[in-house]
Structure 1
Amino acid sequence: MRPILRLSLLLGAAVPVVAAPAVTAPPLDTHRIARDRFGNDAPWYENRIPFFASADPKLDAVYYYRWSLFRAHQRDLGADGYISTEFLDDVGWQLEPYASLNDATGFHLGEGRWLRDRRFADDYIDFMYRRGNDRHFTDYMADSVYGRFLVDGDKAGAIRHLTAMRRLYAAWNDHFDTSKGLYWVEPLLDATEYTISSIDASGGKDGFRGGDSFRPSINAYMYANARAIARLSTLTGDTAGAAEYDARAAAIKARVQASLWSEPLGHFIDRYKVDNAFVKYWAPIRGRELVGYLPWTFDLADDDAKFAAAWTHLLARDGLGGPAGMRTVEPSYEHYMRQYRYEGTAPECQWNGPIWPFQTTQVLAGIANLLDHYHQSTVTRGDYMRLLRQYAALHYQGDRLDLEEDYHPDTGRPIVGLARSHHYFHSGFADLILTGLVGIRPRADDMLEVNPLLPGAADPQGLAWFRMQDVPYHGHNIAVTWDVDGRHYGGTPGLTIEIDGRRVAHSPTLSRLVVPVARAAVPRRDRPIDRPIDRAVQLVRGAFPKGSASGATDAENVHDAIDGRVWFFPELANGWSSAKVPAASSSKPSPQSSPKPSAPQWYAVDFGKPVTVSRAELAFFADGKDFVAPRSLRIQIWDGTRWTPLGAPATPVANGITAVGWTPVSTSKIRVSFPQAPAKRTRLVEFKVF
């Protein structure tokens, strides 16, 4: 066997090294892991997600939980494809009728770019640039689209919305102050209500609205979007367009560093756009906020020791580094953790101190950049792993995994705790594992770069071993393995990279590895991603297709089975929940407990016109208590006079997908009929028809 060439880089200095040949690590048993982690829903994940195992079982558990969170937030819009939602269920400020919100798009695409099934990110990008991005909030979507290109290498997919990107970028001119060369925003529309700027602009009385400011966030986002548009323009050969947006990015970078850096605070801060009795235009805010680290998240900050010293505030227990997580504001602020807003008696969202997974994700991404390609000694790899584990711990509510909106920085307990807060998708985690801990640093060229951000073996925050596999990259399947002494995987100690099952690089120690990877073809419009269209989905209540059911016919209850949402989390009901069938030995049933025990339950969809259908996917929820899956089901179609069965009866699965197929047939109505266990209920999470 010929030796394998390894190319090792340290902050840009390339040193070729010859690595000894060795066998690859044994692959993870992905089928077993998927069954253990996801139960009956395992088929959705098995051929889609990258699989991960490490010496830290809690990191592993949160990693897989975050993929279940991603899956739960994929809403099927039918002909409009899939989008990612921020809240599982509806909220009053979403874009109707889709339930989309643009502030979390960066996290959604950051996670979704690592799926081998490219439909979810692809559909989402199409939707957001066609109609979904209403600028309700600030965002860095163009940067996220470019970030996806760095993983999948699909040039055509990356550039197809370039015109819309430029149009959306220009629309933000209404938040640009030409005299200062900076963007401004009301903190609420930055998805961060009750910040220092908005509270102080109210004289300390409120802070939900108001406080318009030049913020590190919106300017870092616009910098990142300009840089992305420049790079995408280069891919099209538009050198003038690239130069224009490079110049925009450079101008924002210069102004942020000159004007939003506070020498007294040693931190990037807001300056006021508003001018009133309490605050003055261009005056700086009077405290440090976590948002001040976003210049590193997007590589805006120069590699300067003066700027890097700002990270000491994050490591300080009396600063931004709370015992349980990152504080959004330092405790020295006068209105730190003062609760202003409630829903009834329940605390509502605020950014005056609580931990937010949103900014925790952004700051951890900034630390990863800092450790990967900045020269500094303030933050260590041990710090990164400690903060990553601290973040992972927030996902646990006792032994149960359920990420909520915000947390108390001293206890790590949820603050808001409203029904909408369960399994909240306004952050990232899988991307942090892939790009930080494992250290896959996606690139635009035909190279694969890996630089795990683990400390040495003697550090208590280190990991003795990990393996990440089934990672899509430039049309290939890659795996990264670390085994400190070779004992866990029974091979050579060190760090190993595999491409398409073949070992291509190895280092006996943790180090940066860079190897060539020839770009392979990825699906494009002429070789489309598989996009089956759900004919039953309905976003607008009362329109066709319409649902109906054998009982429990509240309009919202019935509609929930065809709203394009599939999740099996018990904390938040989803789907049509039937009435309870009484036990056979019970007395005369009450009207509320109809239908009769002998009558089957059914759920029907009226398409409003004839459509051709050939298969269905049904999702049933079970909790081992009140709700159980049916023992069998039958698909039926309306032939104009009666319901006619299609094919043979099927056996449903609980908390997973039951697929039923038949010879294509045209019909205007379809239904599923099933017996229901006595004294139990059925919850049909979703009834999809193709």
Structure 2
Amino acid sequence: MAGSTKIALFGLVLSSGRQVLAGLNQAALAGKYFGNDAPWYQDRIPFFEVSDTAIMDVYYYRWQVFRAHQRDLGADGYISTEFIDDVSWQTQPSASINAATQFHLNEGRWCRDRRFRVDYTNFMYGPDANPRAYSDSTALSAWNAYLVDGVQSDLTGLLDSMQNLYNHWQDTQYDSSKGLFYVEPIADGTEYTIASIDASCGSDGFTGGTAFRPSINTYQYGNARAIANIAELVGKADVAADYNARAEAIKKNVQSSLWNSTFEHFIDRYYASTQCSTYWDFIRGRELVGYVPWLHNLPDDDTVYAPAWAHLIDPEKLGGLYGMRTNEPSYEYYMKQYRYQGTARECQWNGPAWPYQTSQVLGALANVLDHYPKTAAENTITAQDYMNLLRQYAKLHYNKNRGGLNIEEDYDSATGAPIVGLDRSSHYFHSSFVDLVVTGLVGIRPRADDVLEINPLAVDIKYFRIEGLIYHGNEVSVQWDADGSRYGTKGLVVEVGGNVVGTSKTLARVTVNVTRKAPPQYLRYIAKSIQLENSTVDPQIPRYPVGSVSVPDAVPYQVQHAIDGRIWFFPQPNNTGIISHGWLTPAGNGSEVWHMVDFGNKINLTSAEVAFYADGGIGVPTAYRVEANLANGWQIVPKAKFPRLVGNGITYASWSTVSTSQIRLVFTPPKGLPSRLVEWKLYSELVDGSVFHR
């Protein structure tokens, strides 16, 4: 529990008169939440404590989700995945799905190691992604990351690609007579909406129902603003003017055409006509997607739109007991189940609570409470509502079906239990939480200028402290103590570079000037052993590097999993294979086994990361070594350093450089237990776990 974690936090006054504060016991927090994998997190995440235990626990769990979904592609660097393992509709072979990219980048902008978001953004605008599989706001999310780290070079080289993608959308899914974009709900990541169900006359809704939606138009509004902002950074005034004009046109048309005064909500209008739907007609109900315009600051601060927020906390409308409903119980087909996988219910958006849109709505609400003064003054919804909804969302992470912390795809808002619950659903990464804590509860509002702005929404929180956050290259901490009993200093305290630069006796907006600095320079080692395609694609065609094992009749995809660039250590209940990953050996009998990587040609290798999973039924090997196939056959690599293996963490092995086409990890599973090799990565450089250049 947060209250039992020992911290060291007290005020000091330097001879210069500047006050500095000591901080949280980061090593203790990392050990508590991440166990043997703590070293991965210690230089990468902002550490946080808060008087609400559930919010604190979920905050650290969501960093585990982030870490688990960083897939190493080898030379292309890292991307974030939506599902923890492969699904049939992902982009092959990377497993990327652009529908979730906006959440990945918004969450990842708070990771101190910028490599993940830089690699990912470059990949999504490169030749091997599929950026139009789903609607998204990747350009805006990349801009939002810039607002945190302030590094222009991360963006400016992508400007042409961003424009090309935007224009492709405009050429193919834009109705010039209405000045709006349209999308089929399934391509918006939301099958079985009111539009798609009603377009089928209530018979289905998986596809169809193409409509002018608040979502895609808000995304394109945000993307246009981002492109304009980036163009201004590089002095392209004509491009900036063009895209600002496009954004203004979308804003005008969304407000004039998608706002429904009867429902007092932004809702869809049909693009495609069917027997039961007519072009330009409104759909017949409110949906949660109607709050997305505020997520990207599209609506004017006009009190005419304020009544929409009353629906969110109305238990008869969108305010479910355990989660936000995606549409209302008054809808004829509310919660009617159309789609199954076998007997298991599949994904639908006709009422279930989705973390996807829940996190969008919370982000939108934080914007309203922060910089929509006229709307907020209507008191339709308050900061207390934000905290109530954030807690409600946090509780969804405590899985009522599987147990423990495990975020899934969608939930029954009446019970709080997951609906879909398939193997693919565990630890699902199509939402945000860290970003909501940082920008909402803590209230850090990233800006393009060199100002640090804090406006916390933590109205009923007794205390919180976040530290180690990098903003415009500066180390930032924010602390709140309602009565001074936790940290010895009552009120709000803002620190930059370890120095107190702003205070307030109450939860109030604080702004301080900062000097922009270069953020820490991250290391970018390239794993040589990554194989993205498993042998089930075509086992007759070797795709180097190729994995093999000493055990006969091993499952081919498990062998490949040990070199596929994925690492996670989530519990694997009853060893059923649910969310398991890597190569599972037979139970140990004292004999050695090995996993070999064949590169096809000689390559220089110097070090390895080795990851084994462990629990009560799966054990860490009792011994291991690395061997290379050299001129005289298989030999232990020279001048080797083989630290003791750890379970559920990374062991770094190194040796003098060898040139070889084949290398293998030889190890001994414990007697009576199998071992699971989650991943081992091989490098030409010396990799020791360091994150930044020293």
Residues 1:600 and 2:592 aligned together: yes
Please give the secondary structure, in 1, of the residue aligned with 2:30: helix
Residues 1:636 and 2:627 aligned together: yes
Write the distance in 2 (CA, Å) between the matches of 1:187 and 1:278.
Answer: 16
Name 2:562's counterpart in structure 1: 561
Residues 1:574 and 2:581 aligned together: yes
Write the distance in 2 (CA, Å) between the matches of 1:400 and 1:507.
Answer: 38
Write the distance in 1 (CA, Å) between the matches of 2:453 and 2:555.
Answer: 55
Tell me the TM-score normalised to structure 1 length: 0.92
Name 1:459's counterpart in structure 2: none
Name 1:589's counterpart in structure 2: none
Which of 388, 391, 394 matches 1:392? 394
CA contact (8 A) 1:73 1:425 kept: yes
Residues 1:408 and 2:418 aligned together: no
CA contact (8 A) 2:642 2:654 kept: no
Q: In structure 1, give the amino acid aligned to 2:388.
A: R
Name 1:549's counterpart in structure 2: 549
Instruction: Measure how far apart 1:641 and its partner are.
Output: 4.5
Query: What are the superposed Cα offsets for residues 236-294 of structure 1, whole Å, 9 maximum, x if unpaired?
Result: 11111111000000000000000000011110000000111111000000000000001
Instruction: Measure how far apart 1:23 and its partner are.
Output: 4.2
Please give the secondary structure, in 2, of the residue aligned with 1:228: helix
Please give the secondary structure, in 2, of the residue aligned with 1:301: coil
Name 2:220's counterpart in structure 1: 222
Name 1:13's counterpart in structure 2: none
Unpaired segments of 5 or more residues in structure 1? Answer: 1-20, 456-461, 582-596
Query: What are the superposed Cα offsets for residues 531-550 of structure 1, whole Å, 9 maximum, x if unpaired?
Result: 11111111123411111112
Write the distance in 2 (CA, Å) between the matches of 1:161 and 1:250.
Answer: 23
Query: What are the superposed Cα offsets for residues 100-151 of structure 1, whole Å, 9 maximum, x if unpaired?
Result: 0001001000011111111000100110000313310000000001000000
Name 2:690's counterpart in structure 1: none
CA contact (8 A) 2:44 2:112 kept: yes
Residues 1:199 and 2:190 aligned together: no
Name 1:8's counterpart in structure 2: none
Query: What are the superposed Cα offsets for residues 381-417 of structure 1, whole Å, 9 maximum, x if unpaired?
Result: 1000000000000000255000000000111100000
Aligned residues: CA RMSD: 1.1
Name 2:445's counterpart in structure 1: 441
Write the distance in 2 (CA, Å) between the matches of 1:319 and 1:85.
Answer: 33
Write the distance in 1 (CA, Å) between the matches of 2:622 and 2:566.
Answer: 23
Name 2:47's counterpart in structure 1: 51
Write the distance in 2 (CA, Å) between the matches of 1:357 and 1:386.
Answer: 15
CA contact (8 A) 2:625 2:665 kept: yes
Which of 169, 173, 192 matches 1:172? 169
Please give the secondary structure, in 2, of the residue aligned with 1:485: coil
Write the distance in 2 (CA, Å) between the matches of 1:38 and 1:522.
Answer: 25
Which of 590, 602, 611 matches 2:603? 611
Which of 376, 379, 382 matches 1:380? 382
Residues 1:540 and 2:548 aligned together: no
Name 1:67's counterpart in structure 2: 63
Write the distance in 1 (CA, Å) between the matches of 2:280 and 2:90.
Answer: 32
Q: In structure 2, give the amino acid aligned to 1:661.
A: S
Query: What are the superposed Cα offsets for residues 284-341 of structure 1, whole Å, 9 maximum, x if unpaired?
Result: 0000000000111110011111101100000100100000010000110000000000
Please give the secondary structure, in 1, of the residue aligned with 2:622: coil
Structure 1 window deviating more from structure 2 (56-65 vs 391-400): it is 391-400
Query: What are the superposed Cα offsets for residues 596-649 of structure 1, whole Å, 9 maximum, x if unpaired?
Result: x34201111111110001000000001122x11112211111114521012254
Which of 350, 353, 357 matches 1:352? 350
Write the distance in 2 (CA, Å) between the matches of 1:485 and 1:183.
Answer: 51
Write the distance in 1 (CA, Å) between the matches of 2:555 and 2:353.
Answer: 38
Residues 1:515 and 2:524 aligned together: no
Structure 1 window deviating more from structure 2 (21-30 vs 479-488): it is 21-30
C-alpha spacing 1:53/1:598, structure 2 compared with 1 (3 Å) = closer
Write the distance in 2 (CA, Å) between the matches of 1:343 and 1:651.
Answer: 44
Write the distance in 1 (CA, Å) between the matches of 2:622 and 2:587.
Answer: 16
Which of 272, 275, 286 matches 2:284? 286
Percentage identity across paired residues of the two chains: 53
Tell me the TM-score normalised to structure 2 length: 0.91
CA contact (8 A) 1:192 1:350 kept: yes
Query: What are the superposed Cα offsets for residues 346-383 of structure 1, whole Å, 9 maximum, x if unpaired?
Result: 00000000000000000000000000011222111100
Q: In structure 2, give the amino acid aligned to 1:543.
A: R
Instruction: Measure how far apart 1:650 and its partner are.
Output: 3.5
Write the distance in 2 (CA, Å) between the matches of 1:280 and 1:467.
Answer: 53
Write the distance in 1 (CA, Å) between the matches of 2:498 and 2:396.
Answer: 35
Write the distance in 2 (CA, Å) between the matches of 1:640 and 1:624.
Answer: 41
Q: In structure 1, give the amino acid aligned to 2:307.
A: A
CA contact (8 A) 1:478 1:501 kept: yes
Q: In structure 2, give the amino acid aligned to 1:630.
A: P
Name 1:327's counterpart in structure 2: 325
Name 2:32's counterpart in structure 1: 36
CA contact (8 A) 1:317 1:323 kept: yes
Name 1:268's counterpart in structure 2: 266
C-alpha spacing 1:72/1:324, structure 2 compared with 1 (3 Å) = same
Write the distance in 1 (CA, Å) between the matches of 2:632 and 2:270.
Answer: 69
Instruction: Measure how far apart 1:190 and its partner are.
Output: 0.1
Q: In structure 1, give the amino acid aligned to 2:429.
A: F
CA contact (8 A) 2:641 2:655 kept: no
Name 1:679's counterpart in structure 2: 672
Name 1:146's counterpart in structure 2: 143
Write the distance in 2 (CA, Å) between the matches of 1:164 and 1:559.
Answer: 33
CA contact (8 A) 2:18 2:499 kept: no
Instruction: Measure how far apart 1:160 and its partner are.
Output: 1.5
Please give the secondary structure, in 2, of the residue aligned with 1:651: coil
Q: In structure 2, give the amino acid aligned to 1:65.
A: Y
Q: In structure 2, give the amino acid aligned to 1:63.
A: Y
Q: In structure 2, give the amino acid aligned to 1:554.
A: V
CA contact (8 A) 1:226 1:246 kept: yes
Q: In structure 1, give the amino acid aligned to 2:212.
A: F
CA contact (8 A) 2:470 2:519 kept: no
Structure 1 window deviating more from structure 2 (287-296 vs 644-653): it is 644-653
Instruction: Measure how far apart 1:454 and its partner are.
Output: 2.0
CA contact (8 A) 2:272 2:279 kept: yes
Query: What are the superposed Cα offsets for residues 449-476 of structure 1, whole Å, 9 maximum, x if unpaired?
Result: 0000122xxxxxx111000000010011
Which of 97, 101, 104 matches 1:101? 97
Residues 1:134 and 2:131 aligned together: yes
Unpaired segments of 5 or more residues in structure 2? Answer: 1-16, 535-541, 573-578, 684-694
Instruction: Measure how far apart 1:529 and its partner are.
Output: 3.7
CA contact (8 A) 1:25 1:489 kept: no
Please give the secondary structure, in 2, of the residue aligned with 1:481: strand
Please give the secondary structure, in 1, of the residue aligned with 2:182: strand
CA contact (8 A) 2:590 2:670 kept: no
Write the distance in 2 (CA, Å) between the matches of 1:392 and 1:648.
Answer: 43
Write the distance in 1 (CA, Å) between the matches of 2:345 and 2:406.
Answer: 18
CA contact (8 A) 1:633 1:650 kept: no
Name 2:655's counterpart in structure 1: 662
Q: In structure 2, give the amino acid aligned to 1:632.
A: A
Write the distance in 2 (CA, Å) between the matches of 1:133 and 1:50.
Answer: 32
Name 2:614's counterpart in structure 1: 622
